[in-house]
A and B are shown apart, each in its own frame.
Chain A
Amino acid sequence: MLNFIKKDFRRSMWIIRIVLAIAISFGLMFETNSLMIFMSLYLSQTITRSIIFNILFGIIAVLFYEIFIKFVVNYFLRASNVYNLPRQEIILFALLFHIPYFVVLGLFNLLFFVYPHIYLWGSLIFPIIVAIPCSILFFNTINKLYLNVQTAPNFFKMILIYFAVVYGINILLAVFLI
């Protein structure tokens, strides 16, 4: 699969964008539908509208993700003192590893449709559980393709810091806002 992705950058980027939009639609389906119900304040929500809203949300989310990931990767590479890596390709792989993240998260989130009372626990714990293997896979792939023994520790350190900061903020928000 990696070899297929590595063949043509532009084609891979578009495939990843489309699949990521679908993955986000699936992964955040529970949240998106909740938002839709909240916005319409319990007026009728047909299944067609629900699907359209989910897909639109996925497309918009991909646009935002791409901008966000660009910013993060640029910062990563600068902070890791790695200047000779192809940023666009790292961005592509960062987006690529968000696909399994959202798919697996979506599978976990299906539990909310059956046991909604676990929402508070699940919304905090599931993303962390899913993010760990995805982060490791992302690092291993980047390490295999681009990094050398000198640059790998710095890049790995940045991933650890990013993980700790993002999920640290997530946990603090949950404690103080909910």
Chain B
Amino acid sequence: MKKLAYICAILIIFISSILTPAKVTAYSVDNTLYDSLTYKFLYEFVNTTPIRDACSKGEANAIAYLERKFHELGYVVDVSPFDFSYQDKTYTSKNIIIKSGVNVSNKPLLFIGAHYDCVENSGQGAFDNAAGVATVYAIASDWINNPNRNSMPYEVVFVLFGVEELGLYGSSAFVNALTQGQVDRTIAMINIDTIAAGDSLYIYTEDKPTSYQDLFMSISKDIGTVKLNAMPVAKSITTTYWGYPNIVPYMHTGQLSDHSSFRARGIPTVMFFSGNLSKSYGYIESATNENIMHTTSDTIATLEQMYGTEYIANMEFVRKLILTTITDGKFSEVMANARQELVNYSLWFNSWYPAIISAGIVIIFCFIGYLKLQSLRKKAITDTTVIKPTTAFTKPDEQDIFSFRK
């Protein structure tokens, strides 16, 4: 009985050590960050439209709010409706496309985007993804005030996507509406999704190193306020979920946002997100804090409680990083070759090629095996049979087998 109690106690301690929720850790506070544009916009946005789940009244309010805010900056705002089917019903939502209004029909395009919707009952959706929208807003504000923007070799288009949470419907509709000419002219799509909470900030471009990721990484070191990490892709891969959004035979954290719709059409993409991919196998937000994504705790108050002002630092960092990188002289040069660096989906994700190679190997092996079989058969006819012992093992022997316990 005592032994059983000990075993139970050890088991309980062991299981509870695995299942115990993480503790909340204090993070640094920098009060100057409350004056930043990203924070001001985030605060106003989530308090004006805290509910933004797909096709709700809150979503309509959010669209009207965002349309007004970007229009006030001096942009031409196009609210583009799209239909999508979800659980056998058809709904309508809207993407918000923000252009500077300059007629640049032949210029290469650079899309910078974030989704503005959030899941139902997710607090204010501050982390996912009001923070992304706030960062896009701050970049747009800086960009329109940049006197050199018209001389840049590309046109920046900001896009706020609807219905990301139900399956990237907004970005899919947007990309599908692009002509092949526009797709060919697009140099990159930069996506900002869930960058506020979490222990680390990550960048993801491809399932292999790329020169444009290196450029972002190198500029991030010069900025230095937040450490940017290259996403360790294979740490969060699941191969059993065949394709989300149906373009690759596996899924990982880096694919789970709107840029994947662009990548599916062969456009180079850059994705920023935060979380923790070092203390676990797979994605968690934080090793020390509770996950807040898609929970009622996704509010500014929780972000402050868990991360101090680091969530604002993240937004400000991404804002600065993107602006510095896209205005860097090397950017156009690097992006000009970006398509050649993409993983070749038609080669690597087409099962016919490895199937043909595998079939070839099997056929060759079976053919060589058949030749060997013929020689064995020939030997069987010519040679005399050698009787071998029926067992190769020395124990149990006859004595073991035929002895009985006393």
Contact = CB atoms under 8 A, between A and B. Distances in A.
Contacts of B358: 124-125, 128, 167, 170-171, 174
B284 interface: yes
Given A49-B18, A156-B372, A167 B348 contact: no
A164 B361 CA distance: 10
A61 B237 CA distance: 22
B16 to A, nearest CB: 12
Nearest to B17: A48
Q: Chain B: interface residue count, which band?
A: 35 or more
B362 A171 contact: yes
B34 interface: no
A33 B388 contact: no
Which of B282, B348, B365, B395 has most chain A Cβ within 10 Å?
B282
Contacts of A175: 351-352, 355
Nearest to A178: B351
Contacts of A46: 18, 279-281
Interface stretch (A17-25, A65-73, A97-105, A111-119): A111-119
Interface in B218-242: 233-242
Interface in A22-36: 30-31, 33-36
A10 B395 CA distance: 8
A137 interface: no
Contact of B348 (A8, A118, A128, A146): A118
Given A42-B283, A148-B388, A114 B365 contact: no
Nearest to B276: A44
Interface in B363-400: 365-366, 369-370, 372-373, 376-377, 379-380, 383-388, 390-396
Nearest to B294: A42
Nearest to B353: A121
A158 to B, nearest CB: 10
Interface string A2-18: 00001111101000000
B240 A38 contact: yes
B328 interface: no
Contacts of B387: 148
B354 interface: yes
A1 interface: no
Interface in A58-83: none
A44 B291 contact: yes
Contacts of A164: 362, 366
Given A6-B393, A34-B239, 10 more contacts: A34-B237, A36-B282, A37-B237, A43-B291, A119-B249, A128-B365, A152-B376, A152-B379, A159-B369, A168-B359
Interface of A: 6-10, 12, 30-31, 33-38, 40, 42-50, 52, 84-86, 89, 112-121, 123-125, 128-129, 132, 145-150, 152-153, 156-157, 159-160, 163-164, 167-168, 170-171, 174-175, 178
